[in-house]
Amino acid sequence: MSETSDLPHATRFSGRVWTFGDHISTDVMMPGSKVLAHPNITPEEAASHCMSANRPGWSAQVRKGDIIVAGRNFGCGSSRPAPRLLRTLGISVAVADSMARVFFRNCIHVGFPALLCPGVSKVFEEGQVAEVDMETGAVMNLTTGQRLQAEPLEPGTPPYDILQAGGLDQYLLHVLRKR
């Protein structure tokens, strides 16, 4: 049995799609001059600069529950904790053809759902509606009816349990409380 079996966390998401291409860097998601250079910046202020270099004004258009669909190597670049900004904006999940490994791990550690789904960038256009099931790996374009199958995180594995707990901090607190 999973360490977090009593901590249900959302695993199914439905929302409006924002599309991004290949090689979107964490440096674009979390610009250093706007975010890292200001140690007292609030999470909301930091999130307002997310993607500003390649999509000015994008963060103001995001609504809670929106979904990112991206191409190859999403989250490349540095190990900046960019998934925190996506979560703060209200993005519910990111699905990409492929992701930089450190970015994917950062997503899990901050409790931000991310799924690898080769070919996903070819079946979505911006503004369409997606449904993503983290448990089964099903990714559905509700606008066109196209369906893809991703490899989901396996229940009972550390990444799954950490995501279920809402992030690494919450997971560790939960495990310590159970002892």
pTM of the model: 0.90
**With 70 as the cut, is the pLDDT of residue 37 above it?**
no
For residue 122, give both structure tokens.
């070819």
Highest mean pLDDT among 11-15, 74-78, 117-121, 153-157: 117-121
Which of 31, 73, 72 lies closest to 54 in space, CA to CA? 31
Which domains does the chain possess?
Answer: 12-152 (3.20.19.10)
Q: Is the pLDDT of residue 31 over 90?
A: no
Higher pLDDT, 5 or 117: 117
DSSP string, the chain: --TTTTS----EEEEEEEEE-S--BHHHHS-IIIIIT-TT--HHHHHTTTTTTTSTTHHHH--TT-EEEE-TTBTBSS---THHHHHHHT--EEEES-B-HHHHHHHHHTT--EEE-TTGGGS--TT-EEEEETTT-EEEETTT--EEE--PPPTTSHHHHHHHHTSHHHHHHHHHHH-
- pLDDT score for 151: 87
User: Is residue 108 within 8 Å of residue 114, measured between CB atoms?
Assistant: yes
Whether the Cβ atoms of residue 117 and residue 150 lie closer than 8 Å to each other: yes
User: How many angstroms separate the CA atoms of 164 and 135, rounded?
Assistant: 11
CA 137 – CA 117 distance, rounded (Å): 8
